[in-house]
């Protein structure tokens, strides 16, 4: 054992003495290639953990498909695994601990943190997990280095009975919980969630936990069936019904109290506004494309007083609660996983997540 770090012998797995690992490296627009890269070196206050599972997020897909960032990068931020090295000064964790980690943590002291706008904190925008190259999560690799502020405030120990696959949902559940509360979903309200992919399903489940009646919409039959199976009151095919009529039927002619938009289509913003009642709210969850432009009738906001709200990333205030929702299985997150791929199969996994089949929900990368 080093005088500066404590290590866990990985035996038959990649030996730390070799300092090499496999990773899915983003090499340009639409290209992720599995390569051998160096295992990150751990510094003071840092830990290295072996990734056991990492979910594929829509943000990863957008960055890869549209080339929004410069290569090379190693993406993946919905990750959980086992600590194998701890740097000098680390007291909170030790080798062998099973953990789930966030990749952003706010400073807690700035103008934005004081107003609980944590995702706008300059420190929050610094990614605190890396598998090499520019820090960008790193979950699409065998090992990830967590920086000191993540180790201290953004990493949680897993209960013994919680699987790594379940733990990968802690971060996306947090982002969805933040969105539902940003939309001020309240007991007795009727909420429409547009899109029933993995994020839309989480938004539906969390809106139900807040006490709302939840209606959903998705053109894919498999996703509508999943929505009903997980508790939606009704799930509509927007290509087969007049959605406005259906929503008004369920709301005494008013429209939805809140519409949560989980599809990255600019044209759906106008539709979401039309489906909300006067004075209602529209929450944009998937509209985080830096080049997207959106148009809508000004009177829906200026006359009908409908609100357009945005929600981006996670909230540190919801960190413990989102973990409890997963750890106590108040959300059926494991049942949301439809496909599992090995790291060597990441190209196929990303392709399926970007172009889902009828039965595709959450796609997860697992390391044996």
Dihedral, 161, 164, 167, 172 alpha carbons, nearest 10: -160
**Counting beta carbons within 10 angstroms of the beta carbon of residue 80, is it exposed (0 to 12), middle (13 to 18) or buried (19 or more)?**
buried
DSSP per-residue codes, 225-292: HHHHHTT-SEEE-TTTS-HHHHHHHTTTTS-EEEEEE-S--THHHHHHHHHEEEEEEEEESS---TT-
Whether domain 6-171+315-366 has CATH 2.120.10.30:
no
Q: Using alpha carbons, select from 177, 180, 157 the residue that is nearest to residue 167.
A: 157
- Contact status, residue 73 vs residue 32, Cβ threshold 8 Å: no
Task: For residues 363 and 184, give the distance between their C-alpha atoms in angstroms, rounded to a whole number.
Answer: 29
- The domains of the chain are located at 6-171+315-366, 184-310
| pLDDT value of residue 11 | 37
Tokens 């369920």, residue?
A: 250
The pair of structure tokens assigned to 327 is 């750890």
Distance of CA 19 to the CA centre of its chain: 29
Whole-Å CA distances, 356 to 102, 219, 224:
26, 12, 14
**Counting beta carbons within 10 angstroms of the beta carbon of residue 352, is it exposed (0 to 12), middle (13 to 18) or buried (19 or more)?**
middle
Distance of CA 291 to the CA centre of its chain: 21
Whole-Å CA distances, 130 to 39, 103, 122, 188, 346:
10, 9, 18, 43, 18
Whether domain 184-310 has CATH 3.40.30.10:
no
User: How many other C-beta atoms can be found within 10 angstroms of the C-beta atom of residue 207?
Assistant: 29
| pLDDT value of residue 288 | 82
Global pTM value: 0.95
Per-residue pLDDT of the chain (368 residues; tens, 9 = 90+): 444 556 665 433 455 567 999 999 999 999 999 999 999 999 999 999 999 999 999 999 999 999 889 999 999 999 999 999 999 999 999 999 999 999 999 999 999 999 999 999 999 999 999 999 999 999 999 999 999 999 999 999 999 999 999 999 999 999 999 999 999 999 999 999 999 999 999 999 999 999 999 999 999 999 999 999 999 999 999 999 999 999 999 999 999 999 999 999 999 999 999 999 999 999 999 888 888 899 999 999 999 999 999 999 999 999 999 999 999 999 999 999 999 999 999 999 999 999 999 999 999 999 97
Q: What is the DSSP letter of 344?
A: G
Long-range (24+ apart) CB contacts under 8 A made by 269-273 are 269/294, 269/296, 269/308, 270/295, 270/296, 270/297, 271/194, 271/243, 272/192, 272/194, 273/297, 273/300, 273/301, 273/306, 273/308
SS (H, E, C) 127-190: CCEECCCCCCCCCCECEEEECHHHHHHCEEECCCCCCHHHHCCHHHHHHHHHHHHHCCCCCCCE
Task: For residues 74 and 280, give the distance between their C-alpha atoms in angstroms, rounded to a whole number.
Answer: 40
Task: For residues 71 and 134, give the distance between their C-alpha atoms in angstroms, rounded to a whole number.
Answer: 9
Task: For residues 79 and 288, give the distance between their C-alpha atoms in angstroms, rounded to a whole number.
Answer: 21
Residues 34, 35, 37, CA angle at the centre, nearest 5°? 135
Domains 6-171+315-366 and 184-310 share a fold: no
């Amino acid at each position: 054992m080093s005088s500066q770090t404590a290590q866990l012998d990985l035996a038959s797995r990649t030996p730390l003495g070799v300092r090499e690992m496999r990773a899915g490296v983003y090499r340009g627009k639409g290209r992720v290639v599995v390569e051998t890269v160096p295992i990150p070196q751990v510094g003071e206050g840092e830990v290295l953990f072996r990734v056991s599972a990492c979910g594929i997020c829509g943000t990863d897909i957008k960055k890869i498909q549209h080339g929004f960032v410069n290569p090379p990068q190693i993406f993946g931020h919905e990750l959980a695994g086992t600590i194998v090295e701890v740097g000098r000064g680390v007291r909170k964790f030790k080798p062998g601990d099973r953990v789930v980690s966030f990749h952003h943590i706010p400073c807690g002291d700035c103008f934005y943190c004081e107003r609980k706008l944590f995702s706008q904190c300059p420190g929050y925008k610094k990614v605190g997990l890396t598998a090499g190259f520019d820090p960008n999560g790193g979950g699409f690799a065998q090992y990830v280095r967590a920086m000191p502020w993540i180790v201290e405030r953004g990493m949680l120990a897993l209960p013994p009975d919680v699987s790594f696959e379940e733990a990968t949902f802690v971060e996306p559940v947090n982002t969805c919980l933040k969105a539902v509360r940003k939309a001020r979903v309240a007991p007795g309200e009727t909420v429409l969630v547009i899109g029933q992919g993995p994020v839309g399903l989480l938004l539906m489940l969390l809106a139900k936990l807040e006490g709302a009646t939840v209606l959903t919409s998705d053109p894919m039959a498999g996703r509508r069936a999943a929505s009903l199976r997980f508790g939606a009151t009704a799930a509509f095919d927007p290509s087969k019904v007049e959605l406005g009529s259906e929503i008004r039927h369920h709301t005494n002619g008013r429209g939805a109290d809140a519409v949560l938009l989980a599809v990255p289509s600019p044209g759906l913003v106008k539709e979401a506004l039309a489906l909300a009642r006067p004075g209602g709210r529209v929450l944009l969850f998937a509209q985080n494309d830096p080049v997207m432009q959106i148009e809508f009738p000004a009177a829906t906001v200026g006359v009908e007083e409908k609100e357009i709200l945005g929600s981006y990333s996670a909230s540190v205030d919801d960190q413990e609660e989102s973990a409890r929702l997963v750890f106590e299985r108040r959300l059926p997150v494991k049942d949301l996983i439809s496909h599992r791929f090995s790291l060597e199969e990441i190209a196929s996994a990303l392709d399926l997540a970007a172009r889902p089949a009828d039965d595709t929900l959450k796609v997860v990368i697992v390391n044996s």
